[in-house]
Amino acid sequence: MYKRVRLKDTVEVPPEELGDVSPTLVKRLLQDKLEGRMDEEVGSVVSVTNVRDIGEGTVLPNRPGVYYEADFDAVTFDPQMQEVVDGTVVEVVEFGAFVGIGPVDGLLHVSQISDEYLAFDAENQQLASNESDRTLGVDDAVRARIVTKSIDERNPRDSKIGLTAKQPGLGKHGWLTEEHEKREATTGE
């Protein structure tokens, strides 16, 4: 889920930039420091949008820069347990599909995609069913639910988000459209 939040953090202003400690400079330094970083409390910082206040500078021994505490607004992405998300398949591997949901990827394990057995087709980079003509490949749009979440703040790329698409209303968008059209045809709605 995307959120607008108000945060505080400290930035180091290098000596060569001390002549103009402005909101624009502090915003750029905050963006360099925080954007893309994962935090257990706020999720992934997508963008620093506005610097509200810059505190007094602090000099630390044996450090060349001056440290300023800043109060600022940011947009974050914080995936919530049981949240239904739409994403795009970014990679297909033997054990499932990685789905891009916002700035992070979640794993849709092969056992959580469908009740049908899906075999890995390495040549076409997709998972394919032998029972039907259904396939799941790179760039396919998917709706899934977040079922596990393990955030690694030090190495955001090592964070793990588990997804499922086995409940009604979840799965590849094309499959959902097919099911909806079948229901309409049988009920006459």
CA separation (Å) from 15 to 63, 65, 179?
A: 10, 5, 62
For the cut 90, the answer to whether the pLDDT of residue 40 exceeds it is: no
Q: What is the CATH architecture of 2-77?
A: 2-Layer Sandwich (3.30)
Mean pLDDT of 81-105: 92
Percent of the chain with pLDDT over 90: 56
In the CATH hierarchy, which top-level class contains the domain 83-188? Answer: mainly beta
Question: Same CATH topology for 2-77 and 83-188?
Answer: no
Cβ atoms 143, 97 nearer than 8 A? no
pLDDT band, very low/low/confident/very high, at 43 (cuts 50, 70, 90): confident
Residue ranges of the domains in the chain? 2-77, 83-188
pLDDT at 183 over 60: yes
Question: What pTM was computed for the model?
Answer: 0.73
**Tokens for 77?**
């992405």
Phi-psi region of 139 (alpha: psi -120 to 50; beta: other; left: phi over 0): left
